Structure 1
């Protein structure tokens, strides 16, 4: 199934789906399948897993509806399955106050695992914005991410873009006054 035929967004709504997405290995498998279908062997090679482990994680993703078989072919009497994402993007529920954000946790793990001598662009900025500016910036960041996702070429090396725009929790000073 070409990416153009995929639904735009898959909304994670069940505990099973959330558990499937929360696992770092399955997060990495979904990254492999983001741009092109792959077999269990291809996934295992790209993620650095044994075929059995790769198969286990793909089955969990498939059962949760996050990946799907898009084509099959016979190879020496064995049916080879090609898996792809079930949608162009995945939307997770808000984790709620004080709970870890699955995407950010996995993104930080991927960043920490990236080669130290590789090219990285990591920045953090503290801003003071009106609600209108906050909304505008969020929309611009999303549009920029969408623009570059559309330009992505599966033959090029992977690159990850992560952004988080949020209002931090109000800190309470020792005397009990909010900062």
Structure 2
């Protein structure tokens, strides 16, 4: 199924879906399927899993409605299934105050596992913004991510962009350890 025929989003609403996306291995499988369909064998090779483990995780994602079979073909008497994402993007529920953010945990795990290369960009900036500036920056960051997602070519190497724009929880002046913000 071409990407343009996919629904824009799937909202994660059930416990089964939340469990499926909360697992780092399944997160990496969905990353493989982001741009093009793949077989269990192809997924296993890209993620570095045994075929049996890959099959298990794909079945859980399929049961949760997050991936689906988009085509099949016979290969030496065996039916080979090609899996793809069930939508262009997945919207997770807000974690709640103080709760774990699944996307950020997966992003940090992927970042820590990524090779350190000159192209890798990691930055944290502390800003002081008006409500209007905060909203504008969020809009611009989302538009930039969408623009580059549209330019993505499955033939090119993977790249991940993660951003979090948020207002930190209020702390006493200087924070808990007495150190000020640089």
* Alignment TM class, shorter chain as reference: over 0.9
Q: TM-score, normalised on structure 2?
A: 0.94
Q: Report 1:140-179 matches (<5 A).
A: 140-172=140-172
1:173 CA displacement: 5.8
Number of aligned residue pairs: 176
Q: Confirm or deny that 1:116 pairs with 2:116.
A: yes
Distance 1:72-1:118 versus aligned 2 partners, 3 A rule: farther
Q: C-alpha distance in 2, partners of 1:56/1:67? A: 13
Q: What secondary structure is seen at the aligned counterpart in 2 of 1:38?
A: coil
Compute the displacement of 1:117 (Å).
3.5
Post-superposition shift, 1:65?
A: 0.4
| 1:111-138 C-alpha deviation (Å, 9 max, x unpaired) | 0000124620001111111111111111
Aligned to 2:82: 82
Which residue number in structure 2 is paired with residue 16 of structure 1?
16
Q: For 1:93-115, what per-residue CA distance to the aligned partner results, in whole angstroms no more than 9, with x for missing partners?
A: 00001111000000000000001
Displacement of 1:172 after TM fit? 3.2
State the TM-score, normalizing by the size of structure 1: 0.95
- Structure 1: 4+ residue segments shifted above 2 A: 116-119
Q: Give the drift of 1:152.
A: 0.4
Structure 1: tracts of 5 or more residues without a match? none
Which residue pairs with 1:100 in the alignment?
A: 100
Which residue of the partner structure matches residue 33 of structure 1?
33
Distance 1:13 1:131 in 2: 30
Look up the SS of the partner of 2:94 in the other structure: coil
Larger CA deviation: 28-37 vs 115-124 = 115-124
Structure 1 CA distance for aligned equivalents of residues 135 and 19 of structure 2: 30
- The Cα of 1:162 is off from its aligned counterpart by 0.1
Q: Which deviations, in whole Å up to 9, do the C-alpha atoms of 1:10-60 show, x marking residues without a partner?
A: 100011101100100000000000000000000000000000000000000
Question: Is 1:5 equivalent to 2:2 in the alignment?
Answer: no
Deviation for aligned residue 1:66: 0.4
